[in-house]
Amino acid sequence: MEHNNLLDLVKEKLQESLSLKILNFEIEPRLDNLRPDFIADISFKKWRFKLVGEILNHQSAFIFKHALYKLQLCAAQRPDLVPILIAKYLSPPKQQECKEAGINFMDLSGNVFFQFEEALHIERMGFSNQFPEIRQGRNPFSDKASLLLRAMLKKKKNWGVRELADEIRLNPGYVSRMFKELEELRYLMRVNSKAKLINQESLLEDWIHHYDYKKNRFIRYFCQAKSAQEILDRLKRMEIAEKANYALGFHAGAFLVSPHAAFNEVHIYISDEKSSEFFKGQLKLKVVERGANVIFVLPYYKHSAFYDLQKIKGLKVVSDIQLYLDLYHYPFRGLEQAEHLYGKRIKAAIETNKDEDSAGNG
């Protein structure tokens, strides 16, 4: 949707959904050192007031949080302004964040929260996204595209397009398109002819909400063992070498990297079903529907799940990033372990230079 058409739709929805009469609609006005998307003079019954608004064109965690902060600053500088955030769609968690930040919101899918003194209070929730984005080949959190993120998170440097393409064995044209997409989402900053990741905490927040561990294929077995720890001990004693392409993931992998939560299952990533044959024989595994304690994982992230493998105590483990993605929404103490892993390992590994990040915020 073009910007002018979006502005027209915003004005239409303000009048239709909130029953507001727009007397004047100023685009990108100057407000001290800020430039909100619009300020509108509003009439409602006998009341007159001004709306200050930000319009989200991109659904990125950083852009969303930055818009909230900007509106808070506008309202702090000018108490006569009533802040409102407008988007094509705001998910329930984002709706709640708006409320907690003291920001009204309206999305073009029908969800509304607006209050002005005692004169007006409207709250309508539960509408689904009427503007699903169809961006084939441009999702930076897809399997192949995530190789860019993994490489750039691992090596803190400024990357040229061809340099990164050679590193992760992808077409330079594809890498260039992903750079542009990440730049639009405010997750990439150009440094001369090269690029670096910025706002990495928000980037990870977006990534975990795009990733779905349930899309992996799970093959469940039972191993006669007293505990998951015993299974790991038996794996350590096995001479796996090149007999199977594998890596430990989920809780078992996290236990080796940074133990925290108790667990009863050992997840083993494999590249194909043949790779499981060696383990099935050595561990005397039996196929079960319930009570599995050894679970083979055929990844839907076929290109990137095995990127940046670690070797810990003689066993291969997927990267910290892959562990974090898998555990965050995993039901059995997964979030607890993921947050522990983030605090102990990942947070220290990502860039936290706020001055550099702010230079790329626009």
Which CATH number belongs to the domain containing residue 160 in this structure? Answer: 1.10.10.10
Residue-level pLDDT at 355: 41
Residue 113 lies in a domain: yes
Helices assigned H by DSSP within the chain: 3-18, 61-77, 92-101, 146-154, 161-168, 172-184, 200-210, 228-237, 250-257, 276-283, 320-328, 334-341, 347-349, 354-359
Residue 336 lies in a domain: yes
Q: What is the average per-residue pLDDT within 168-172?
A: 96
Residue 133 lies in a domain: no
Range with lowest mean pLDDT among 4-13, 57-66, 114-123 = 4-13
Residue 185 lies in a domain: yes
> Does 218 share its domain with 340?
yes
CA 306 – CA 247 distance, rounded (Å): 7
Neighbours of 170 (CB within 10 A): 18
> Does 66 share its domain with 152?
no
> Does 102 share its domain with 162?
no
Residue 235 lies in a domain: yes
> Where a domain ends, among 94, 124, 154?
124
Share of the chain above pLDDT 70, in %: 94
> Does 301 share its domain with 188?
no
> Does 65 share its domain with 174?
no
Residue 220 β-bridge partners: 295
> Does 204 share its domain with 228?
no
Instruction: Check whether 27 has a pLDDT greater than 60.
Output: yes
Residue 105 lies in a domain: yes
> Does 341 share its domain with 229?
yes
Residue-level pLDDT at 252: 97
134 falls in which pLDDT band (50, 70, 90)? low
Residue-level pLDDT at 320: 97
Identify the CATH number of the domain in which residue 43 sits: 3.40.1350.10
Instruction: Check whether 217 has a pLDDT greater than 70.
Output: yes
Average pLDDT in the chain: 91
> Does 153 share its domain with 106?
no
Q: What is the pLDDT of residues 229-249, one digit of tens each?
A: 999 999 999 988 677 889 999
> Does 78 share its domain with 14?
yes
Instruction: Check whether 352 has a pLDDT greater than 60.
Output: no
Do residues 41 and 48 lie in contact, with contact meaning Cβ atoms separated by under 8 Å?
yes
> Where a domain ends, among 161, 176, 210?
210
Query: Could you tell me which residues come within 8 angstroms of residue 256 by beta carbon, excluding any fewer than 6 positions away?
Result: 232, 248, 312, 313, 315, 317
Residue-level pLDDT at 7: 83
Range with lowest mean pLDDT among 108-112, 135-139, 153-157, 184-188 = 135-139
What's the structural domain count of the chain? 3
Residue-level pLDDT at 335: 96
Domain that holds residue 74: 3-124
Query: CA-based angle 96:188:31, to the nearest 5?
Result: 60
Instruction: Check whether 331 has a pLDDT greater than 80.
Output: yes
The more confidently predicted of residues 221 and 134 is: 221
CA 163 – CA 166 distance, rounded (Å): 5
Residue-level pLDDT at 362: 42
Residue-level pLDDT at 360: 44
Instruction: Check whether 361 has a pLDDT greater than 50.
Output: no
CA 254 – CA 248 distance, rounded (Å): 9
> Does 156 share its domain with 229?
no
Residue 270 lies in a domain: yes
> Does 279 share its domain with 334?
yes
Residue-level pLDDT at 254: 97
Radius of gyration of the chain (CA): 25
Residue 115 lies in a domain: yes
CA 36 – CA 60 distance, rounded (Å): 18
Instruction: Check whether 283 has a pLDDT greater than 80.
Output: yes
> Does 238 share its domain with 330?
yes
Half-sphere exposure of residue 333: CA atoms within 13 angstroms, side-chain side: 14
Residue-level pLDDT at 326: 98
